[in-house]
Structure 1
Amino acid sequence: MAIANPPVQDNAYAAALALLDRAPLIDGHNDLPYVIRQHREARGDVGAYDLTRVHAEGDTDIPRMTAGKLAAQFFAAYVPPKQKGPAGFALAQIALMRDILKRHADVFRPGLSADDVLAAKAEGRIALIMTIENGTALDSQLDALDAYFDLGVRLMTLCHNDSHDWCDSATDAPRHDGLSAFGKDVIRRMNRLGMVVDLAHVSPKVMHDTLDVTSAPVVWSHSNAFSLCDHPRNVPDDVLDRVAGNGGVVMATFVPDFISQASRDWHRPAKDQYGKTPEGTDSAKAEAEITRSAGPRPKATLAQYCDHLDYLAQRIGHDHVGIGSDYFGWINPDGLEDASTFPALIAELIRRGWSEDNLEKLAGGNTLRVMRAVEAAAG
C-alpha cells in the first residue's frame, strides 16, 4: 500500500471539494473492522489500532476519511466463508464497530437511517452504518435477522466467495440454482425489517431471484460492469437492465481485478474456474510466479474506474449508480489509493462533463433514496 499522491489542484478539483462540502458522500463498502481484527498488533483492539493516525500500510483511518469528506460509511462485519461459528464471528465484528462508535463519538455517529446520514453531514461527523458481509452469519436461523437489526445492522450481503446453505455465490459452484426457498424467505424478512439487501458476491441467478421476490430496492455494494471486465463478481447486462425497474443502485468498486480486464487476465493463472484463489494457495508465491512469466501486474486506474461509472450511468441511468470502494488494506487503483481520494474521483467526473445534479446522486443521493425506500417498505 502507498499513501495517495497529491491530487491535481485544478478548477475541477476545487469544484469537487465544494460539491462534497454541501452534498453527502456515502461509501457502500469498507472492510476496516476485519483489517483491525487481523492486524498483527491490534488483533481486534480498536484502541490499540489507533484510528486517529494515518496507517500507511492500509487505506482507511480517521484522517483520510475526513480528508475524503465522507458523510457516511457502510462498514462490514465480514464473515469468512469457512468460518467456524459464523454468528459469533459476526457478533464480534459488530462489537468492534460499536467500540469505534464509543471511542470516536466526535467523529462517528450511529447510522440507522437516511436521516442519520443527513444529521452526520450537518454535524461534520460520519454516519457509521453497520452491515454483515455473508449470510452464513444467520446460521440458517431467520429470526437472527431481527436480532442483528436490533443491534444496528442495516444491510446484509447475502454471501461471500462460497455458495452456502441457501445462496449461490458468483465465485463458486451453484448449489441451489440461485436462492433456496429459505433464501427467498431471507429477502422477505429483510424487506419487512427495513434491512437493505446487498447482491454483491451473489450469482446472476440469485440476482434475478432476488429481483423477482423483493418488495424494496436492492444494492450491489461493491460490484462493477461485467461488460467492461469479465470478473464473475461484476454485474451482467441482463441484470443491469432490471435495476432501474427495481429502483436499486450499483455501487461501483475500486478492486483492480473488477475494474481492469488486463489485471483480471494477469491474475487468471492463480484463480480457479470460478475466479477465486483456491484454498491453501500461497498468494504471494503464485503472484511471484505470474510476474516471472508475464511481467508486473497491470495497474488499474481512476480513469478506468470512471469508465465503469460512465457505462453504468448510460446503461441504467444516473439515478442508479453509487460508490462502493471495498477498501480493505490491499492494492488499490492509481488515483484511488486510500479514503482521502474521493474528491479526486468527483473531479475526474467533472472533467468528463458530469452535471452537478448527477454527481450529487452518485455521491450519496441515490443511496439515500434507496435507504428511504427500504425504510418505507418495512413493516
Structure 2
Amino acid sequence: MALAAPPIQDNAYAAALALLERAPMIDGHNDLPYVIRLSRTAKGDVAAYELGNVHAETDTDIPRMQAGKLAGQFFAAYVPPNHPKPAGFALAQIALMRDILSRHASVFRPGLSADDVEAAKAEGRIALFMTIENGSAIDNELDALDAYYGLGVRLMTLCHNGTHDWCDSATDAPRHNGLTAFGKDVIRRMNKLGMVVDLAHVSHKVMHDVLDVSSAPVVWSHSNAFSLCDHPRNVPDDVLDRVAAAGGVVMATFVPDFISQASRDWHRPAKDQYGKTPDGMDYKKAEADIAAKAGPRPKATLAQFCDHLDYLARRIGHDHIGIGSDFFGGAVPEGLEDTSTFPGLIAELIRRGWSEENLEKLAGGNTLRVLRAVEQKAG
C-alpha cells in the first residue's frame, strides 16, 4: 500500500487545515487493533508494532493520525463471525487498545464521553474510543454489556458479516426477520448504559427494528448511500428517511465497494448472493481471475465518496452525517489512502461549496451531539 499522494496545496486545503485547527475531527471506525493482531512481526504486541513509526504497508499510525488532525478516533474490537469464543476474542482486543492508551498516553486519552473529545482537542491529543464490532461478543448475556461498559466500551456494532443468535446481518441469510426479542432487550440495555447503538453491518430490516425500539439516537459507523452503490451494507432511502427524526448519524465510509458501483459490480464473481466473500475462497486468486476476464478493478475516488456525502446531505440534512473511514489495512480509494487524508477530504468539500458550519458538523459536531444525547438518555 502506497502512502497518500501530497494533497493539492490550494486555498481550499489551507482553509481545511485552519478549520480542523479549531473544530474536532472524529473518525467513527478504524480496525487498527485487528491490524496489530494480524501483523506478522508484532503479532498483537503494541510495543513491537511501533505505532509511532509510519507503516507504509497499511493506513494508520500516530504520525499520519496527527497529520490528519484527528481529535477523536473510534477503534474497533472486531470479532470474526461465528468465532467459537467471541467474548474472549473481544476482551483480547480491548486489552490491546488499553495497552495503546498506556504506552502512548502523550498521544491518546481515554474516550469515555463527548467531553473527552473536546479535552483531547485542547491538549493536542486524540480521544480513543473503544468499540465492539459484533454483538456476538456478549455471548447472549445482557449483563456482559455492563461489564464492557465498565471496561470503557462506548459503542457496539450489533453484528458483523454473519447473522448470529439475535441479529440478522446485511451480508448473510436472515434467520430472525430482523431483530429478536432478546436483540430488542440489547438495544434497551445499551440505551440505559449510555452505549451507542451502531447499525453498520445489520440487515435493512434490523435498521427499522432498532429505530422502532431505541430511545436514543443511533449511528451507522461505516456505511454509505444504497441509492448510489447497491451494496447491502449501505443504507437504503426508506431508512435514511427516518434518520433525522431519530437524531441519528450516518458516517460515510471509505470502503471502495461501498462507494463505487463499478467496483462493486467488478467484484460480484468473488462474492456470494449476500455480498460477502464465501468461506474458504482464495480471494487473491478470485480477483486475479476476474482481472483476467474483465480487466483491472475500477478505482473508487475521493470525488465519488464526496458524491455520497452530497447525497446524504440532501436526503437527511447536514445535521445527520459524519465520517467512518473503516481503515483496516485493505483497499482504499484514490485520495483517501490513509489517516493523513482527512484535511484533503474537507478541502474537496470546500471546493464543492460546503459552508464552514456544515463542515464542522460533518467533521465531528454531529458525532458529539449523538454522544451527548446517548449520555443524557442513560440511567
Q: TM-score range by the shorter chain?
A: over 0.9
Q: Tell me the residue number matched to 2:104.
A: 104
Query: For residues 87-102 of structure 1, what are the structure 2 equivalents within 5 Å?
Result: 87-102=87-102
Q: Distance in 2 between matches of 1:352 and 1:304?
A: 13
Q: Distance in 1 between matches of 2:246 and 2:357?
A: 21
Q: Tell me the residue number matched to 2:368.
A: 368
Q: Distance in 1 between matches of 2:54 and 2:185?
A: 43
Q: CA deviation at 1:82?
A: 1.9
Q: Distance in 2 between matches of 1:32 and 1:95?
A: 13
Q: Tell me the residue number matched to 1:130.
A: 130
Q: Distance in 1 between matches of 2:362 and 2:334?
A: 21
Q: Tell me the residue number matched to 1:26.
A: 26
Q: CA deviation at 1:217?
A: 0.1
Q: CA deviation at 1:200?
A: 0.1
State the SS of the aligned residue for 1:90: helix
Q: CA deviation at 1:97?
A: 0.1
Q: CA deviation at 1:327?
A: 0.1
Task: Provide, for residues 47-82 of structure 1, a one-character-per-residue CA deviation record: whole Å limited to 9, x for no partner.
Answer: 000000000000000000000000000000000002
Q: CA deviation at 1:341?
A: 0.1
Q: Tell me the residue number matched to 1:190.
A: 190
Question: When the two structures are aligned, how many residues end up with a matched partner?
Answer: 379
Pairwise CA RMSD: 0.3
TM-score norm. by structure 1 comes to: 1.00
Q: Aligned pair 1:8/2:11, yes or no?
A: no
Q: Distance in 2 between matches of 1:183 and 1:316?
A: 26
Q: Distance in 1 between matches of 2:268 and 2:73?
A: 31
Q: Distance in 2 between matches of 1:195 and 1:21?
A: 28
Q: CA deviation at 1:278?
A: 0.2
Q: Which runs of 5+ in 1 are unaligned?
A: none
Task: Provide, for residues 135-156 of structure 1, a one-character-per-residue CA deviation record: whole Å limited to 9, x for no partner.
Answer: 0000000000000000000000
Aligned residues of 2:252 and 2:325 also touching (Cα < 8 A): yes
Q: CA deviation at 1:221?
A: 0.0
Q: CA deviation at 1:84?
A: 1.7
Q: Tell me the residue number matched to 2:217.
A: 217
What amino acid sits opposite 1:46 in the alignment? V
Q: Distance in 1 between matches of 2:147 and 2:224?
A: 31
Aligned residues of 2:12 and 2:348 also touching (Cα < 8 A): yes
Q: Distance in 2 between matches of 1:349 and 1:339?
A: 17
Over the matched positions of the two proteins, sequence identity in percent amounts to: 84
Q: Aligned pair 1:41/2:11, yes or no?
A: no
What amino acid sits opposite 1:334 in the alignment? E
Query: For residues 303-318 of structure 1, what are the structure 2 equivalents within 5 Å?
Result: 303-318=303-318
What amino acid sits opposite 2:357 in the alignment? D
Q: CA deviation at 1:162?
A: 0.4
Q: Which runs of 5+ in 2 are unaligned?
A: none
Q: CA deviation at 1:355?
A: 0.1
Task: Provide, for residues 156-215 of structure 1, a one-character-per-residue CA deviation record: whole Å limited to 9, x for no partner.
Answer: 000000000000000001010000000000000000000000000000100000000000
What amino acid sits opposite 1:113 in the alignment? S
